[in-house]
Amino acid sequence: MARKPIESFAEAQRLAKRKMPKAVYTALISGNEKGSTIRQNPAAFERIGWLPRVARETREEQPLVRETATTALGMKLSMPVLPGPAGAQAIHPEAEVAVAKAAKEAGTAIGLSSFATKPMEEVAAANPNWMYQLYWTGTRDDILWRLERAKRAGSKALIVTLDATGGGLGRRDWGSPSIPNQVDLKAVFRFAPLAASRPAWILKFLAKGGIPDLGVPNSRSNPDREPAFAEVYAELMSTPVPTWADVEWLREVWDGPLVVKGLMRGEEAKRAVDAGADAIVVSNHGGNNLDSSYASIRVLPAVARAVQGQAEVWFDGGIRRGMDVAKALALGADIVLVGRLWIFGLAAGGQQGVHDMLEMVRDGLHWSLVGLGHRSFKDLSPDDIVAPDGFFFDPDTKTRLEDLELRRSRG
Ligand X SMILES: Cc1cc2nc3c(=O)[nH]c(=O)nc-3n(C[C@H](O)[C@H](O)[C@H](O)COP(=O)(O)O)c2cc1C
What are the catalytic residues? 285
What is the C-alpha to C-alpha distance for residues 411 and 408, in angstroms, rounded to an integer? 9
What is the C-alpha to C-alpha distance for residues 361 and 382, in angstroms, rounded to an integer? 20
CB of 96 to ligand X, least distance (A): 11
Residue 261 found at the interface with ligand X (CB under 6 A): yes
Residues 101-120, interacting with ligand X (CB under 6 A): 113-115
Coil/strand/helix, residue 18: helix
Q: Which x/- pattern over 348-387 shows residues binding ligand X (rule: CB under 6 A)?
A: ----------------------------------------
- Count how many residues are written for the chain: 411
Residue 202 found at the interface with ligand X (CB under 6 A): no
CB of 160 to ligand X, least distance (A): 9
- The window from 93-101, 172-180, 306-314, 334-342 that contacts ligand X (CB under 6 A) reads 334-342
Binding residues with ligand X: total (CB under 6 A)? 25
What is the C-alpha to C-alpha distance for residues 46 and 281, in angstroms, rounded to an integer? 22
CB of 386 to ligand X, least distance (A): 23
386 CB burial (10 A radius; 0-12, 13-18, 19+):
exposed
Residue 66 CB contacts under 8 Å (≥ 6 apart), including other chains: 366, 369, 370, 374, 375, 376, 377
Whether the Cβ atoms of residue 365 and residue 338 lie closer than 8 Å to each other: no
Q: Which x/- pattern over 13-42 shows residues binding ligand X (rule: CB under 6 A)?
A: ---------------x------------x-
Q: Which x/- pattern over 43-82 shows residues binding ligand X (rule: CB under 6 A)?
A: ----------------------------------------
What is the C-alpha to C-alpha distance for residues 176 and 343, in angstroms, rounded to an integer? 17
Whether the Cβ atoms of residue 136 and residue 157 lie closer than 8 Å to each other: no
Residue 340 found at the interface with ligand X (CB under 6 A): yes
Binding site for ligand X (CB under 6 A): 28, 41, 84-87, 113-115, 133, 161, 261, 283, 285-286, 288, 316-319, 338-341, 343
